[in-house]
């Protein structure tokens, strides 16, 4: 069947489908990106990385920008408040294989904003512009930018920020349609994303409250955006990605798998994490991932609490496997 949307084009990259996995701290490592890519992601983004930390080449920071190669094209997202340090960081991640460099003007987390990084930059558009210009001039690959509506509801600066981005050579912008002060409360205001699409000529990517494939398609059509970015809703539910891809290709979205099948994929995710990162690091990291997978069936809350107290992979997987066996005997899908 004919595609219902066009590929996203960012510089030399034709991205199909125009579905992007959002950068999420402590979540979108190389393992998750490689596991979720086959579900239908056109582009994946690394965890957001401190430009200051990259100066020191710490092992943890370098792991955050590491790739499998399976998930390409890959965008590496940087945050910081100094144009020259951001430019240096952009050169580093480009040398390490980033296909696209993305600038973070969207993160509302206090650990980022207290140093005037992330969404706090939106309080000073001159500095935003200086950062974007410095990064564009530093690398030979496309530069993109992600932002919020503004710092507060009284300071909606997204349109001006995007116009400045376009003027200095940024090739696409992503808008999470909440303010920094909102964090993740309330609803994303997609009318602002539609307004941004009308305000600039470069591609616009919409982000916020895309937890249903049909709603995502509807918002894409109504706003006119060139792509959508999926965040928290895709965690533990990569089948959201495949359902949305099907709709984009003019096909019917398949129902999500039943709870036992979802947990079997979670077990695969767990084994992959242990293999790649070692048990000592994988066990605590996988607690939050299992929390995402453990939704929507009877007994999920109790199991989640028990999993949070386990300390070994064997103990954790035994709990999950026992739950899978119970669900296969007595399927209880929400």
Residue 298 banded pLDDT, cuts 50, 70, 90: confident
| pLDDT for the residue 334 | 44
Pick the CATH number of 259-329 from 3.40.630, 1.10.10, 1.10.3470, 1.10.1200: 1.10.1200
| pLDDT for the residue 1 | 67
Give the pLDDT mean for 288-292.
92
Q: Which helix (H) or strand (E) holds 158?
A: helix 158-168
The more confidently predicted of residues 330 and 181 is 181
pLDDT at 241 over 50: yes
Cis peptide bond prior to 73, omega within 30° of 0: yes
Q: Which residues contact 181 (CB under 8 A, 6 or more apart)?
A: 108, 151, 152, 153
| pLDDT for the residue 229 | 98
**Residues 223, 227, 229: CA angle, nearest 5 degrees:** 105
pTM as predicted = 0.94
Residue-wise pLDDT for 11-20, tens only, equals 999 999 999 9
pLDDT at 332 over 80: no
Average pLDDT, the chain: 94
CATH homologous superfamily for 8-248?
Answer: Aldolase class I (3.20.20.70)
C-alpha 245 chain-centroid distance: 16
Residue-wise pLDDT for 101-113, tens only, equals 999 999 999 999 9
Angle (deg, nearest 10), helices 279-293 and 300-307: 160
Residue 306 banded pLDDT, cuts 50, 70, 90: very high
pLDDT at 38 over 90: yes
Tell me whether the CATH fold assigned to 8-248 matches the one assigned to 259-329: no
The encoded tokens of residue 67 equal 């790739």
Give the pLDDT mean for 68-82.
90
| pLDDT for the residue 275 | 96
Residue-wise pLDDT for 177-203, tens only, equals 999 999 999 999 999 999 999 999 999
Angle (deg, nearest 10), helices 313-329 and 300-307: 170
| pLDDT for the residue 58 | 77
Known catalytic residues? 107
Q: Where are the domains of the chain?
A: 8-248, 259-329
DSSP 48-104: PEEHHHHTTT-HHHHHHT---STT-SEEEEEE-S-HHHHHHHHHHHHHTT-SEEEEE
Residue-wise pLDDT for 117-160, tens only, equals 999 999 999 999 999 999 999 999 999 999 999 999 999 999 99
| pLDDT for the residue 295 | 85
């Amino acid at each position: 069947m004919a595609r219902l949307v066009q590929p996203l084009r960012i510089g030399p990259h034709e991205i199909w489908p125009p579905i992007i996995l959002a950068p999420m701290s402590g979540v979108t490592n190389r393992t998750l990106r490689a596991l979720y890519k086959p579900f239908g992601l056109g582009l994946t983004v690394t965890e957001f990385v401190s430009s200051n930390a990259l100066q020191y080449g710490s092992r943890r920071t370098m792991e955050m920008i590491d790739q499998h190669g399976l998930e390409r094209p890959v965008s590496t997202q940087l945050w910081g408040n100094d144009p020259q340090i951001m430019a240096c960081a952009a050169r580093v991640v480009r040398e390490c294989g980033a296909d696209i460099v993305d600038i973070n003007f969207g993160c509302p987390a206090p650990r980022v904003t207290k140093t005037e990084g992330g969404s706090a930059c939106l309080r000073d558009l001159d500095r935003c512009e200086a950062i974007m210009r410095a990064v564009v001039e530093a690398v030979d690959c496309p530069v993109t930018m992600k932002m919020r509506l503004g710092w507060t509801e009284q300071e909606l600066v997204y349109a001006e920020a995007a116009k400045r981005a376009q003027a200095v050579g940024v090739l696409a912008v992503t808008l999470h349609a909440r303010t920094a002060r909102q964090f993740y409360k309330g609803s994303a205001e997609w009318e602002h994303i539609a307004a941004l699409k009308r305000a600039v000529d470069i591609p616009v990517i919409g982000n916020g409250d895309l937890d249903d494939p049909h709603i995502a398609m509807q918002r894409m059509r109504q706003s006119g955006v060139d792509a959508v970015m999926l965040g928290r809703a895709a965690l533990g539910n990569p089948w959201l990605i495949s359902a949305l891809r099907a709709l984009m290709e003019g096909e019917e979205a398949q129902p999500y798998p039943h709870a036992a099948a979802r947990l079997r994929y979670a077990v695969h995710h767990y084994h992959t994490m242990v293999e790649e990162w070692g048990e000592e690091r994988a066990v605590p990291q996988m607690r939050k991932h299992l929390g995402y997978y453990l939704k929507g069936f009877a007994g999920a809350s109790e199991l989640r609490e028990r999993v949070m107290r386990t300390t070994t992979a064997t103990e954790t997987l035994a709990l999950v496997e026992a739950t899978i066996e119970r669900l296969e005997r007595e399927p209880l899908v929400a």
